Structure 1
């Protein structure tokens, strides 16, 4: 049960969220990427520690829901029960049950075809005493890269697409519990009918767009070649046109064939033979060549990553050590994805 002080903090955060939603609506005249950057900074500042099932996550979901509604979208909260295993330092394993919350917004088209634009809104939940001892996840994690960045870009795409007429319906999915094993994606997929799956032209997954050295565009293992050419390869052509550094995984790692990626919500849809385009920033030429190392190891980023680490994945640190990166990467992501979505949706 919340204390009076906690309730006051919740109300204050919701009021801040509402005011930002109203002021941000209808500003597509702003430079490309500006809306996304503002959203990344707002989400990171006001909703740190948005672990699945936490009060911060619920406030974050409510904020995102309000943003979609302020743009005129049909938008609702969708809660679901899930769980994860917590391991103690003695090796004891306990189930932890949580009630997570996703947000689903819809832009109706005039056919049964649809595009799903996905970004997870939760931050990393410590799953062991070792995680806690190594300061992984928790209440102080802003999650700028992972994954305020994906949600911010999704919200700008929604802002700029809302008045664009499309044949395909566009659904924006801000999913919870990705950090618990893509439980939000599994929950959404379980509610899709066979017709829904068959009519899904593409799932675009946005996850961790800031820290990595360059943008990567991945198709699914099961994405047909013809669709990969119209989506992944098209994204690379758009990037080249705009002078943006982008690439595909060259397939040197053990588990991800050339042109595919790992490991986020898109894999859940890919396993059901739904075409996917996964967007991330990383460096697949480093480390084990599996995409987990985002940049070279140095004094600023000792492990070559910021994932799940509050001391690195925050606004102050990233602005200091990757100056201008949040602005440039949100801009570049929107510049590539906006025309691509319009092409596929039409």
Structure 2
């Protein structure tokens, strides 16, 4: 896999009836993404893996991709996770998830994957259910409807662009139960497809965090980090957008790398990764889990999986304009970056 990454570095050095597509070309960056994010959060709350909402959300994304002119399908996968009862008795829960995939074909067999998980958190215990974590009413605008919206806008804006390398837009599921969809996706990839996957861009938790980060995988070669992570930061700074990378204050999470999301699956396989997230690596244990300074609005400094916090009403109230602004910023950075990396004509 490292040889593919090195070749990439060398090459670069050389539905619901709810339609956005017609208006996207004339809209400002991020407008379609934020509208899609709001729609997904409102219409499909409780997108727990294997739930009706998750299946409908996946089909909605498939329809959106097809309306843009992409070939798009849904792949199902099976997995399981542990649930703990009040008496600390543990049982396996089996789930069948849905992953929506759209293909933008390039002139060469190499590809770039742009990925965002569509599922929301499923309670792992009676205690979590009692604490209102996850469940059928969790909108998950931060985790992770906004990322799905950004992915859809990137697909819309790239649909008529001729590129040397292919682009795959993938809405995974099962992330909240242990990256089940990403693991299934990697297992289904042939050796040739893995070899030809030049980069995986993973979008996750773009809204609540204090800062916007671009981080590489631990195994991503330095040459590719410069062409992906460092280039993303340069684009951000040229546009006056505040963005940074993990400062590496916790030795378990090296500088410029990320963790704990679907991208890890591909990083472990030696496929180069670029993670896009909003959090605050300077706070708490400095591991990226505390998204912002603790406050009355976010008592733990995060909105993770909390029905009362990760919803549109709360975020619009305490962080007015944040959803639109972050969607705009991420699109403004990633669109030119992806065109560069895919070698758009």
Q: Is 1:233 equivalent to 2:230 in the alignment?
A: yes
- Secondary structure, counterpart of 2:96 in structure 1: strand
1:287 to 256, 262, 284: 284
Q: Is 2:24–2:153's contact at 8 Å kept on the other side of the alignment?
A: no
1:323 to 320, 324, 328: 320
Shift of 1:314: 0.4
**Corresponding residue number in structure 1 for 2:39:** 42
Q: Separation in 1 of the partners of 2:95 and 2:116?
A: 20
* 2:92 paired with 1:71: no
Report the alpha carbon displacement of residue 234 of structure 1 after superposing the two structures with TM: 0.3
Within-5 A mapping of 1:63-142? 63-142=60-139
Q: 1:247-300: per-residue Cα shift (whole Å, max 9, x none)?
A: 111111142110001110000000000000000000000000000000000111
Please give the alpha-carbon distance, in whole angstroms, between the structure 2 residues aligned to 1:305 and 1:46: 24
Quote the offset at 1:333 in angstroms.
0.2
Q: Please, which of 264, 267, 272 is the counterpart of residue 275 of structure 1? A: 272
The offset of 1:26, in angstroms, is 5.3
Q: How does the TM-score come out when normalised to structure 1? A: 0.94
SS of 2:176 mapped into structure 1: helix
Match of 2:7 in 1: none
Structure 1 residue aligned with 2:18: 20
Distance, in Å, in 1 between the alignment partners of 2:93 and 2:191 is 32
**Aligned residue number for residue 7 of structure 1:** none
After superposition, give the CA deviation of every residue in 1:205-227 in whole Å (9 maximum; x if it has no partner). Answer: 00000000111001000000000
* Larger relative contact order (CA 8 Å, sep ≥ 6): 2
Moved more, 81-90 or 67-76: 81-90
Unaligned runs of 5+ in 1: 1-16
Report matched runs for 1:164-243 at 5 Å. 164-243=161-240
Q: CA RMSD in A?
A: 0.9
Verify the 8 A CA contact 1:203 1:276 in the aligned structure 2: yes
State the alpha-carbon separation in 1 of the partners of residues 106 and 231 from structure 2.
23
Distance in structure 2 (CA, Å) of the matches to 1:124 and 1:310: 10
Equivalences, count = 329
Q: Output one character per residue of 1:127-179: Cα deviation in whole Å (capped at 9) or x when no partner.
A: 11111121110011000000001100000000000011101010011001000
Offset from partner CA, 1:45-81 (integer Å, 9 cap, x none): 0000000000000110110000000000010011111
- Residue 293 (structure 2) aligns with: 296
Q: Which of the residues 51, 56, 61 maps onto 2:53?
A: 56
Which ranges in structure 2 are unaligned for 5 or more consecutive residues? 1-14
The separation in 2 between residues aligned to 1:18 and 1:96, in whole angstroms, is: 30
8 Å CA contact 1:51, 1:125 repeated in 2: yes
User: Runs of 4 or more off by more than 4 Å in structure 1?
Assistant: none
Answer whether contact 1:25 1:159 (CA < 8 A) is retained.
Answer: no
